[in-house]
Structure 1
């Protein structure tokens, strides 16, 4: 493959919760882990099972065509997919890193190096999507916590609050189980050079720190919602107990009334 023009544009699209790779045509496949296909002479598309497509050196029209071609293989397709982009410059004498301008510097545009970039950008894109989602949930949970701090009685739709807990657990399952944010990809296991490149770029994109911050927010959301549910249940339990007390008192009054009448 001839050297691509510089800078090389790369965009990651988080288009759904999962992509079924078994249904895809692999006629132009050049590598696996992720599934990497050559597009034209210089472009690549790299497809991840956890719902991300990373494309190098393609126009917006070409990217749209590829994404549309995946629609039958995408599970839970998002109406507004998350997108993260970067530019890559190739310099054989440069230190491989993310520079101050936000460009990724590589020594060459080999498939292995581009796959490393794809892994980092794909994980960052997923984190961005869930960071935005959790931010919206966090605002609602924060209002619940403020209500409790003011000593106000808990109220609200239990089903909605349980839904927040379910969403938090679902995000944890997807980020930990499918995306494996903190895990290194297989392509770097036996290649020290790619391993160092991955570590450097992953650190500069703050993947681990962002994953920890997201996990803490999810944990706080779950604990706050669970506490709120417990208080709602306790309040409902007290109400039931008062109903029982009232019924007992009524029964006693009726019994006494019958005795007095006789």
Structure 2
């Protein structure tokens, strides 16, 4: 693997992850001098860029202007761009600190591309989780007034279609976390570099990836159960209204027949 540029050998490095959209088309990004092909990673000036297909790009050791240039260059490859980009940043220390581990800084020891790729994987997953957590929070903000109205009035709110959309949003988050981002899966790099598992474990603990996935799963289950109950209530109320309309029509028909009979009309 190629030697690190001086900018990636400094005592402090910043890894910035940005969620650009649902997916990133990585076709054509492969280079002969690529650092990695899965995920695609390449040098950009004196820094490192790592592109994840699930819509996240991680930039390490880049100046703000260089980061903006990277984001602009990837804009045409974004599928399902997000309205508000989620970002996550982590500080990396490339040497041991005698004074102890500073808050918010992960020590990786002597820097290497493999270590930076492991850090990029963790921070990218954390950013993707943050975006999903925000989307789930928005779903909860929508469901809460429905539940409050049900508790206060005993009536389910209208709008089965709106509830169905919320179910769709929850399913998209569930699919993203489980199938695309695969937060629970370790980087493929660890198969070849098992010595880096301790570093990934520290990063996993730093971002609380497992705990956040479990919490997100519980919230998704709760959303599914809540919306299902409410849609069932709406369907039940609609069925009762339909039955009432049918009974009313039958009653009206009986009244008409009785009136006609009272007026001397006889059906043939």
Q: Please give the TM-score of this superposition, normalised by the length of structure 1.
A: 0.93
For 1:215-254, what aligned pairs fall within 5 Å after superposition? 215-254=217-256
Deviation, 1:67, is 0.9
CA 1:206 to 1:44, structure 2 compared with 1: closer, same or farther past 3 Å?
Answer: same
Tell whether 2:44 aligns with 1:39: yes
1:24 aligned residue (5, 24, 29):
29
Alignment root-mean-square deviation, CA: 1.8
Deviation, 1:225, is 0.9
Query: Does structure 2 conserve the Cα–Cα contact (< 8 Å) formed by 1:94 and 1:106?
Result: no
CA 1:100 to 1:227, structure 2 compared with 1: closer, same or farther past 3 Å?
Answer: farther
Which SS does the other structure have where 1:156 is aligned?
A: coil
Aligned to 1:5: 10
Tell whether 2:54 aligns with 1:89: no
Q: Which runs of 5+ in 1 are unaligned?
A: none
- Structure 1 CA distance for aligned equivalents of residues 102 and 136 of structure 2: 28
Q: Please give the TM-score of this superposition, normalised by the length of structure 2.
A: 0.91
- Structure 2 CA distance for aligned equivalents of residues 128 and 84 of structure 1: 8
Aligned to 1:135: 137
Aligned to 2:160: 158
Deviates more, 1:165-174 or 1:127-136: 127-136
Query: Does structure 2 conserve the Cα–Cα contact (< 8 Å) formed by 1:12 and 1:54?
Result: yes
Which SS does the other structure have where 1:185 is aligned?
A: coil
Deviation, 1:28, is 4.1
Structure showing greater Rg: 2
Deviates more, 1:187-196 or 1:12-21: 187-196
- Structure 2 CA distance for aligned equivalents of residues 67 and 2 of structure 1: 21
1:147 aligned residue (120, 124, 149):
149
Deviation, 1:25, is 5.3
